[in-house]
Structure 1
Amino acid sequence: MPNSSSITKSYVYSKINSVRWKPSASTFSKPEIFISGSWDNEDNKVCVWRCASEGDPQLLQEISHAGDVSDITYISRDTAAVASSNGSVSLYKHADDTNKNLSLSQCFKHAHHFQSGSQAPCTSVASDGCLIATVGEDARLLLLSPGQHEPHRIIDSGSDSSEYAVTFIKTNEVLTGSLQGHLRLWDIRKAGNIPTVTMITTDQEWIRDVSCHPSQQHVVAAAGEAGALTLWDMRNTTQPFTSISAHSAPVLEARFHRNSPDHIFTCGLDGQLVHWDVSYHSARSLLEGTGGGGLVTSWLHPSVARGDVTTTALINAGPLPLNSVDVQGDVAVAASDNEALFVLRNLVMC
């Protein structure tokens, strides 16, 4: 079903590289608070915003951040981890939804660095609720534990290729994506550093983001250089399940909807925000009696492999990149290099 969302565009006078909703107290709560991180400024900021049911988002607080903000993830409802271009990972306490509630609680300074000792940008950060996984241009995977001053574990990828993306598949499995197009699946319980390795394509296109299905973690979406969304069934890593193009330039982020995972949202260097919808296949699977409830089969439905996915451009292509997107409930927030925040309300989730 086509989306009939309303869009608010607000100029914030800084380039935003990452936006994330603060997790709601309840599945049924209306999304209200999100944070953003800027880049390419002399004084970068991590900002807290309140999003009402209509109108522009309201800036509640801003904190100076050393280096460009490259990624943000929430460890819990009360703590956000922020990756920096100076190699550091900062933890911010975000305890309630009132003004002046964001504060720096811990910083792993220059956690990512080259052998020469110079700082290496931290490019992506993820969490399973306990550990924090980070990757960077030093081609290392770091496991950090809040409250500890040194990394819990440091894993060398065994490559000279920068790592751009990281996510937890399971509590003990971490997936990373690299500049050379490699996906590496790490079992962090094992002492050795030998991962399961596969590739997006033989052309070594880089992987900028990886996103895991919220309930079927073996289903992974990868955002790639060729403008395609590549879907993987991690139970079979010999090749991707399918790769479908909808962007005219590299995809920068891909996000499964947390509560309606038949929907994925992507943004890219072409300035587009694209909504991907396979809820039709879930409904059909239920009618046909194939696959419990559709969640297991929707993205891995044979028709999806043939490209049968409904795609809708919620924001059309523009001259500057759309860097980040996050969705909660029926509201999406996105950010771009044209110094604008977009809020899309009343998204249709079939």
Structure 2
Amino acid sequence: MDGSITSFSSFDSKKQYNTIERAYVHVKVNRARWVPVPDGQSASQLVTGSYSELNNSLDLWTCPRGKHDEGAPRAVCTVQVSGDVTELKFVDPQTFLASTGKGDLLLFKVKEEQLEEIQKWDTTQMLCDADSFTGFDVADGVVALATTDGQIVCFPYADSSNAPSNMIKPGKDGVKAVSFIRHHEIALGNLRGQISIWDLRENIFAPAITFPYNADSAIGVTRLSPFPLQKHILVASGCDGTIATWDLRNVTNSQTIYAAHSKLVSDLRFHDMRPGNLFTCSFAGDVWHWNNFDELLGASTSTSQSFSVGAQKPNVLCLLPEKKFPVNSIDVCGDTLVSACDNDLLVFIKSLKLK
């Protein structure tokens, strides 16, 4: 199918019966991330960031891990922050970064059952005019921050000088998604439906590549991620509920669009150890498990192959059906997924059937 845009407008979303546990946490959670553990172990701690509360916070939770995994998660540490938590990502097994809607970037370390603040930056230290951050990505010690005024500020977060190493100004079109492809290459997606690739080694006043999420209509981009096994394959999600892929070596003739969720895709996550498994969630309240995503890309988990549109249709398992309240974020560790729902719930889905 080289040279064409392939769109799968319908496919089966099979129900999957797993162990599902719900915990009412009394706050709206925007981001939920497992504290990383070695492969084969079960995660026992979770960090969440709230939003739309009078007093927003970062919270550390312990999750029971006994013979029967009985009992609800327990909040063991709460740190109040200024503004909504807009993004949260671990940079190593004990350290994470969190951004806020008030323009703070926070570096924390998890020490047993405590959260210890290591460093705090704000927009004035970044030498930018924005008043808040909409999100960020991090790779090889460098963080790329998306600001409300459309700038991307890159700087080494371990550098005490706080001086930006690069500053990108793609325009004032509402950058919604930012993702490192490689340590020197960043993908940006905005609410007008434009995706741009920037090479930090070259002229940062113009992107290396620019292309639309959907050539037929302006569909805003919500999330971006390179496929972990083949970084030249870019995976994105849209405000219309679709999932799309490109081969960045030939974006004109390599797009595939999957008509998936019925509303905006709020998060997408590849399994860290088994990246052929993709998980997505949406404002429709549903969570999906794509368990043959590597096959859709024509990829192999053992060797690097060239990109090609797979002959198979997506094999999608519905972990949570649509409901009234959106799912804001998901994370997966081992065979357990956590979803942060807009009705003050954390939902844990256990015994995932991973490929």
Which TM-score tier does this pair reach, normalised by the shorter chain? 0.7 to 0.9
1:163 corresponding residue in structure 2: 175
Check whether the contact 1:161–1:178 (CA below 8 A) recurs between aligned residues. yes
Q: Which amino acid counterpart does residue 38 of structure 1 have in structure 2?
A: S
Normalised TM-score (structure 2)? 0.87
Q: Which amino acid counterpart does residue 99 of structure 1 have in structure 2?
A: E
From 48, 73, 78, the counterpart of 2:60:
48
Output the CA distance in 2 between the equivalents of 1:28 and 1:138. Answer: 42
1:196-345, aligned counterparts within 5 Å? Answer: 196-202=209-215, 203-238=217-252, 241-278=255-292, 281=295, 293=301, 296=304, 300-304=308-312, 308-345=313-350
Deviation at 1:129, TM superposition (A): 3.3
Deviation at 1:43, TM superposition (A): 0.5
Deviation at 1:161, TM superposition (A): 0.4
Output the CA distance in 1 between the equivalents of 2:204 and 2:301. Answer: 38
Deviation at 1:52, TM superposition (A): 2.5
Deviation at 1:156, TM superposition (A): 3.2
1:177 corresponding residue in structure 2: 189
Output the CA distance in 1 between the equivalents of 2:106 and 2:124. Answer: 10
Deviation at 1:327, TM superposition (A): 0.7
Unaligned runs of 5+ in 1: none
Q: What whole-Å deviation, never above 9, does each CA across 1:121-143 have from its counterpart, x for those lacking one? A: 31111111311111122111111
From 85, 88, 100, the counterpart of 1:72:
88
Check whether the contact 2:144–2:153 (CA below 8 A) recurs between aligned residues. yes
1:82 maps to 2:82: no
Output the CA distance in 2 between the equivalents of 1:240 and 1:45. Answer: 42
Secondary structure of 1:274's aligned partner: strand
2:30 corresponding residue in structure 1: 17
Output the CA distance in 1 between the equivalents of 2:189 and 2:240. Answer: 15
Output the CA distance in 2 between the equivalents of 1:137 and 1:239. Answer: 32
Check whether the contact 1:19–1:324 (CA below 8 A) recurs between aligned residues. yes
**Alpha-carbon distance change, 279 to 187 in structure 1, aligned in 2, over 3 angstroms:** closer
Deviation at 1:241, TM superposition (A): 2.7
Output the CA distance in 2 between the equivalents of 1:240 and 1:172. Answer: 23
Instruction: Name which of structure 1's ranges 243-252 and 212-221 shifts more when overlaid on structure 2.
Output: 212-221
1:192 corresponding residue in structure 2: 204
Identical residues among aligned pairs (%): 24
Q: Which amino acid counterpart does residue 240 of structure 2 have in structure 1?
A: A
Output the CA distance in 2 between the equivalents of 1:312 and 1:346. Answer: 13
Alignment size in residue pairs? 335
Output the CA distance in 1 between the equivalents of 2:305 and 2:73. Answer: 37
1:122 corresponding residue in structure 2: 133
Deviation at 1:258, TM superposition (A): 1.1
Unaligned runs of 5+ in 2: 1-13
2:11 corresponding residue in structure 1: none
**Alpha-carbon distance change, 63 to 293 in structure 1, aligned in 2, over 3 angstroms:** closer
Deviation at 1:291, TM superposition (A): 6.4
Q: What whole-Å deviation, never above 9, does each CA across 1:3-29 have from its counterpart, x for those lacking one? A: 4321111110110001111221x2222
From 35, 41, 49, the counterpart of 2:47:
35
Secondary structure of 1:217's aligned partner: strand
Output the CA distance in 2 between the equivalents of 1:114 and 1:225. Answer: 31
